[in-house]
Amino acid sequence: MFEALDLRPDCRVDDAAYRRLLGYPPGHELAERARELAAGARRWFAEHARPWVYLREVAVETGGGALRLGGAAFDSPPLRELLARAGASRAALVAASAGGACETHARRLWEEGKPDEYFFLEVLGSAVVEHLVAGASGHVCDLAARDGLIAVPHYSPGYAGWNVADQHRLWALIAGDGAAPGPEPLEVLPSGMLRPKKSQLAVLGLTARTAAALAAPRLVPCQLCGFAPCQYRRAAYRPGRVRRDRARAPEPAALLP
């Protein structure tokens, strides 16, 4: 069973992914002011943010229509179906965060009467978390390769068929004895929202690296991941696929600005 904490994860969000979350249509070229705001947000994040990603492997049980992760029961039929269909007996639990400084600085920009700067940094924080969780599949594949396993697409509380209130149970499972695995506290609020809000919890199932698994489209997370240099890529990144999938599985409340 593996465990890993990355305090310097790759945060190079693809321009197309950033523009998508900003609300621009595909192929749209940013005006000069928007380019300045985007560059300013990226510059501040690179200099001041403290993003992190934590991974921990647990056992999976999907028999009898139930779902248990690391011995804890969860009520998410879509996740149970995904893991059962993949034949996953293990999974990686993921906690990823853009860091509290991003949220704090964005709020300060708003209070200073800089709504444009606020918006571009807020959206970049969401884009970074999306990138971290999607890119975590490559790291998980690396850690699991010694056992002949690969990752399947992630699922998070707040997606279709998984109540966001389960963030409490999932975080308790990830944190284990209660010690925060990251460089700063991560808190689940009564609503299920996370603090810092630019954070996400997720489950990545692990399945045997077989020809069938490599060829099954619904079991390939690479189409949702824009991390181009990943040596474990099994399919090309398809940004349009992300938009269609999210129509079925909405982005979790923890990522909304």
The phi and psi torsions of 174 (rounded to 5 degrees) equal -70, -45
Mean pLDDT value of segment 200-217 = 72
pLDDT digits (tens, 9 = 90+) for 211-233: 554 444 454 444 555 445 454 44
pLDDT for 177: 64
| Higher-scoring residue by pLDDT: 32, 243 | 32
pLDDT for 210: 60
Buried b (16+ CB within 10 A) or exposed e, 1-36: eeebebeebbbebbeebbbbbbeeeeeeebeeebee
The CATH number assigned to the domain holding 82 equals 3.40.109.40
pLDDT for 231: 44
pLDDT for 143: 87
Q: Is the pLDDT of residue 102 over 90?
A: yes
Number of domains forming the structure of the chain: 1
pTM here? 0.81
pLDDT for 221: 47
Binned at pLDDT 50, 70 and 90, residue 137 comes out as confident
Q: Which domain holds residue 102?
A: 3-255
Q: What is the DSSP letter of 29?
A: P
- Average of per-residue pLDDT values in the chain: 84
Binned at pLDDT 50, 70 and 90, residue 172 comes out as very high
Mean pLDDT value of segment 120-141 = 92
